[in-house]
Amino acid sequence: MPRQEPGEPYFRVDSNEASSILNEDAEGAVVVDVRRDDEWETGHITGAVHIPIDDLPDRIGEVPRDKKVLFICAMGVRSGLACEVAFSMGYETDNLYNIDDGTPAWIAAGLPTTFPGR
């Protein structure tokens, strides 16, 4: 179940919860992976959009405003920051999610993953 810590303008979910959100509303949700290029190449959520955290302010227009946005990184820190950036740029709290257990947990759970070059 999505959790919200005091003062955070987003919800926290784990990989399984994020997968459920995507399965229940594939058209109404998007995953944005904010890891570096080299991390992206090691495997990422199938269908995710790749926008490294350092590029997010300049590329925020690529993130839909009318969908649930699930940010992910390796351990939940950069994705939490991405949620904060999106919120500061006018995104609604109700649509911001941090997959806080990160991509390694997603892959370990056997959830849909794309491995470039394989």
- Phi and psi at residue 2, in whole multiples of 5°? -55, 140
Rounded distance, CA 91 to CA 66, Å?
Answer: 9
The total of other beta-carbon atoms located within 10 Å of residue 49's CB is: 16
Positions marked active-site: 73
Please name which of 27, 9, 4, 28 lies closest in space to residue 90, comparing C-alpha atoms: 9
- Strand-strand pairing, 29-33 and 68-72: parallel
What is the residue type of 66?
Answer: D
